[in-house]
Structure 1
Amino acid sequence: MTSDEFYKELSYISASRQDRLAFARLVLNDMSLFPKLIAISFMTDDDSSSRAAWVLELVCQEYIYAIIPHLDFFTNNLNKVQLESAIRPMAKICTFIAEHYTSKHPNPIKKSLTSLPKEKMIEACFDWMINDHKVAAKVHAMETLFLLGKETPWIHPQLVDILQQDFHHQSAAFKSRAKHILNKMKKLKKL
């Protein structure tokens, strides 16, 4: 499938989970499509970027290691994503990466996520936390920051400040997750 054909197929995807899963299966069955998917995901002025990001999230949820050859591209472009419907899946992919990176078990993400891409991911997550974005993006960003803060000590104090500062102005969903993250950070300090 050419890039143009792939792009055209993406335009037919609806927000339904069934459509997104079907397209994710297409990519998972032909990983030569993955570079096309990630490239379209970062065409930030194009509505198809959101559709691609939805599919990218599902592909990464199923097989996060597909992103390894593209980690630099992914992290270098996170700050360029503007469409709210694309930010949430990007934030969730960051959480997948952080979960594998901080896992106790050896895995390829641990070796591949070097300091510069990690810094870019941290920067994007903090931007999503402090700027006016929907709760879902903020929730994934705070989870990513919590996880990466286990190994990067300056993150947790900054995250606590943001969570406490925004707490009273946010939705019930934000407050619930913020309490959960704050409690997890308190438990880490006790260890």
Structure 2
Amino acid sequence: MFMSFGTAPRILRIYCRATVVEWDQPEFFPLVRKIAKAKRDAFDGARSVILGDIWEVTTSCGYGVPRVKKGLYDEDASDSSPHKSIQEVLHEGPYGGETLTELAVFEERPTLDKSATTKTQSNKMNKYQVANNANSIDGLPGLRTARREAEQRLWLGDAKARLRRIAAEKEAVAKSLGHE
């Protein structure tokens, strides 16, 4: 998964089956040359190359992902004074405070709150949650409140999800039954 912490919100998810090629395998150095576009044969300290057999790529809005405070990289940012030091910018907002942590570089995106407020005020939040939260992105049962509102039988959805999960673990099921 890749997320934008910049001004344009976006999440990119790459679904794949990964294969690890370690440095002592014959395929390793040809892969490094391919990655480096034949400009080098090795990367110091590289332990492996990860190959991904991608079967799906999706994007979503990213409105819930915080953004990096613009005042940290743009002195002319409209929402920060050019007279503020980096330390002053870091101490601002919900992630600032007296003791700075790695979260101090972030600020909230106002988009998600504005959207939620608009939907709530126009009585459209339940409908939105049914449409978007009854199932997760990967098809698993979602929020129980959204599933109830969608008139789903919770026990049935949970049972189906559990059976799909068990069926996906064929090797573990076979070993537990003594079939190796």
What's the TM-score once normalised by structure 2's chain length? 0.30
The structure that is strand-richer by fraction is 2
The structure that is helix-richer by fraction is 1
Instruction: Pick the structure with greater CA Rg.
Output: 2
